[in-house]
């Protein structure tokens, strides 16, 4: 009996050293590349809808059609370079930092992480990615996406680097961190919910426990990732709208319309109504859950490959 118990504890004792955080970071970065390439048009549409104060766009399809007809199909991939770079770096930091934070919450004897520890690890990873990666990249992305037309001569920002340089010149370095507060709240809450939900769905649907050596099929990872990605957009809609408005505004022509996160929420509510705080929710739901499905399908396979090649070999 004691031998059997030791055998059960043995995998937990191996988990810490056999799946290091850098492998989680690598798996996340590859997932981010694939996700960005597939879902960039939805992100462009979401940004345009959130910035539309006069009702120019009647909905998702009308917005996408209007952009394609007036600016060309390529306009639906505006901001792809900063978006893909930002997703790659974001997922690498998110997955790696979450793994490191979870190690701090692991039970030293069993190697397991409590639900409380998993939630806090996800929130910490979300805050870190928001401050280091997400905010400056999304500022550049949104500035590029809100421009209409494709002719370089008519565009204020000629590309990601020129956009960043212009923002720094006109608004200072802090301009790249416009909207940092709602971004921190959005990403922290999103990742706390996402990591907790992904683990819960893996256990509930597939009897898959983290680092148990079992490798999910891509379609199984996609289902778990899709379901895990649905709660965040609904809960964090107002933070995302406010973040977009704060990042898009500039100091040209006088004072800033929105003074900060709370002021922006109050102003949008007073001028446009409560529903405006969830503008762009449908395209977010069209982008984030499928994005999580794609990312986890890629990430789980990379982690699974690592487990098959190294974990099982080294366990003998």
Has residue 219 got a pLDDT over 90? Answer: yes
CB-CB contact of 287 with 38 (8 Å): no
**41-87 confidence digits (pLDDT tens):** 888 898 888 888 888 888 889 999 999 999 899 889 887 887 788 78
Dist CA 252 CA 306 (whole Å): 51
**88-119 confidence digits (pLDDT tens):** 998 999 999 999 999 888 887 777 888 999 99
Quote the longest CA-to-CA distance of the chain: 77
For 80-149, give the DSSP string.
Answer: HHHHHHHHHHHHHHHHHHHHHHHHHHB-TTT--B-HHHHHHHHHHHHHHHIIIIIHHHHHHHHHHHT---
Dist CA 68 CA 73 (whole Å): 4
CB-CB contact of 130 with 188 (8 Å): yes
Closest CA to 161 of 243, 48, 79: 79
pTM of the prediction? 0.76
Dist CA 196 CA 188 (whole Å): 12
Give 3-state DSSP helix, strand, coil % of the chain, rounded to 5. 80, 0, 20
Q: How many CB atoms lie within 10 A of CB 276?
A: 17
């Amino acid at each position: 009996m004691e031998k059997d118990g030791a055998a059960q504890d043995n995998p937990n004792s191996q988990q810490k050293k056999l799946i290091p955080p850098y492998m989680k970071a690598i798996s996340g970065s590859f997932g981010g590349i694939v996700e960005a390439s597939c879902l960039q048009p939805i992100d462009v549409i979401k940004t345009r809808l959130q910035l539309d104060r006069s009702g120019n766009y009647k909905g998702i399809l009308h917005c996408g059609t209007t952009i394609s007809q007036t600016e060309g199909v390529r306009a639906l991939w505006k901001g792809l370079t900063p978006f893909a770079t930002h997703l790659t770096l974001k997922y690498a930091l998110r997955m790696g930092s979450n793994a490191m934070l979870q190690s701090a919450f692991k039970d030293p004897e069993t190697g397991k992480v409590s639900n409380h520890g998993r939630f806090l690890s996800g929130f910490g990873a979300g805050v870190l990615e928001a401050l280091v990666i997400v905010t400056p990249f999304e500022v550049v992305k949104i500035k590029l996406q809100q421009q209409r037309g494709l002719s370089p001569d008519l565009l204020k920002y000629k590309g990601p680097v020129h956009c960043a340089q212009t923002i720094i010149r006109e608004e200072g370095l802090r301009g790249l961190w416009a909207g940092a507060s709602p971004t921190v709240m959005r990403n922290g809450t999103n990742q706390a919910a996402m990591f907790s939900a992904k683990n819960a769905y893996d256990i509930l649907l597939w009897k898959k426990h983290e680092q148990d050596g079992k490798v999910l099929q891509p379609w199984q990872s996609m289902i778990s990732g899709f379901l895990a990605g649905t709660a965040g957009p609904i809960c964090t809609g107002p933070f995302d709208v406010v973040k977009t408005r704060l990042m898009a505004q500039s100091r040209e022509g006088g004072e800033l319309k929105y003074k900060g996160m709370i002021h922006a929420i109050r102003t949008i509510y007073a001028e446009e109504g409560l529903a405006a705080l969830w503008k762009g929710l449908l395209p977010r739901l069209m982008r984030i859950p499928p994005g999580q499905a794609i990312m986890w399908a890629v990430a789980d396979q990379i982690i699974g490959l690592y487990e098959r090649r190294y974990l099982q070999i080294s366990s003998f």
